[in-house]
A and B are shown apart, each in its own frame.
Chain A
């Protein structure tokens, strides 16, 4: 489990993190709220193609196609079949497809943002948007911490399996299985966190001076295009 990328990322389209955030917001507002009838039945699927295309440019081919196929199936079910469905399992299918048409594009847009952006780039973008340090520092700590936590969690899981504390292992109930994993995880995370604070303070985090950032980000031609595209969709959404 990793949010954002540690190393450099190769994409065909180099888009500024701020543009990606804007597009995520656009997809979010339009896809989650609002109907799928009338004019929305036309511009919503077009907007849903945006994460697909962007994922392709980010070389996430498999993810792009899986998303495309699921969304298409959900859209068809939601638009044309849901009126004819009846009976328990079909209602669940209709509900799932109804939810997928709304949430899946946002999820994939978020995935694109994280899969093609480095942590430092994201932080640089936040700083250029003049987001308070009180938000930026915890966020960057979080992005650094997700891989650490999943690594720790894997190690703890192995240890507990060896002791037989697992589903079907015969030792302890559900609560013990949960407790014996979560408590050590919290303990080790807090300890690592204390060490991280000490290290970060030594390196001048929280000082008076403005910190510099290695990543150079800025708007280019594609960013302008994407902003125009997003604005057009927002205008369509509010006017139609």
Chain B
């Protein structure tokens, strides 16, 4: 009965867990409205998203499901007004995460942790315009924008911040994976959901 092809049940599971993942994304995004916390979004989404994600991986251990989840999360981001860059990022990072988990056959705990950490970095896609915007501000700066505002913006989006944000995403992913497993053990296995 167990095949490796994605069937309708898996697709429905992808839909359900993307909703749950997106709710976690939404909660993290709320905190991101406080400007200083914006850079912490990947960390938060990594930690919170780990709970539905780990359950998702244990329920649908077929190649392609994680890619689909990334793609759909990207599309949803686009529909609610984030940059279109989210979609390619969702596809690419979802696919990378998927490949890493596939090498462990979705059973190796270490591979799942790394895969989820990589997957979490798709969030960078929705933040990337901040860095693109900075160059545009540079262009403009001679004309009108000046003073402390520009300094604040520059300090906020240094080039080295991008790798920092990516690393934050990875760290968040690792913490989230462990949190997710703990929750899985504490609640879901006992309830017989897995």
Q: Which residues of A contact B (CB under 8 A)?
A: 3, 24-25, 28-29, 32-37, 79, 82-87, 90-92, 94-96, 98, 102-104, 106-111, 113-114, 133-135, 137-142, 145-146, 149, 179, 182-183, 185-187, 189-191, 193, 196-197, 200-201, 205-206
The CA of A147 and the CA of B191, in the complex, are separated in Å by 25
B11 pairs with A206, CB closer than 8 A: yes
Q: 1/0 per position for B42-84, CB-CB distance to A under 8 A?
A: 0000000001100100010000100010011001101111111
B20 at the interface (CB under 8 A from A): yes
Q: Can you pick out 25 interface pairs between chain A and chain B where the beta carbons lie within 8 Å of each other?
A: A28-B84, A33-B136, A35-B137, A36-B140, A37-B140, A83-B146, A95-B35, A102-B129, A104-B81, A107-B80, A134-B68, A137-B11, A138-B72, A139-B15, A141-B16, A149-B23, A182-B51, A185-B23, A186-B51, A193-B16, A197-B8, A200-B8, A205-B12, A206-B9, A206-B11
- State the total of A-B contacts with C-beta under 8 angstroms: 162
Most chain A beta carbons < 10 A, residue from B20, B81, B149: B81
Q: A95 to B12, Cβ gap below 8 A?
A: no
Are A34 and B136 neighbours in the complex by a CB distance under 8 Å? Answer: yes
Determine whether the beta carbon of B80 is less than 8 Å from that of A110: yes
The one of B136, B148, B156 in contact with A85, judged by C-beta atoms closer than 8 angstroms, is B148
Closest chain-B Cβ to A7's Cβ sits at a distance in Å of: 20
Identify B187's interface contact among A113, A187, A200, CB under 8 A: A187
Cβ–Cβ < 8 Å partners of A36 in chain B:
136, 140
With A102-B133, A138-B14 already in contact, 19 other A-B pairs whose C-beta atoms are closer than 8 Å: A28-B78, A35-B137, A37-B144, A85-B149, A86-B147, A96-B35, A104-B81, A134-B11, A135-B72, A138-B12, A138-B15, A142-B15, A186-B55, A189-B19, A196-B12, A196-B16, A200-B8, A200-B12, A201-B9
Contact B71 A135 (CB under 8 A): yes
Could you say which residues of chain A place their CB within 8 Å of the CB of B129?
32-33, 102
Q: Which residue of chain A has the shortest Cβ distance to B8 in the bound complex?
A: A206
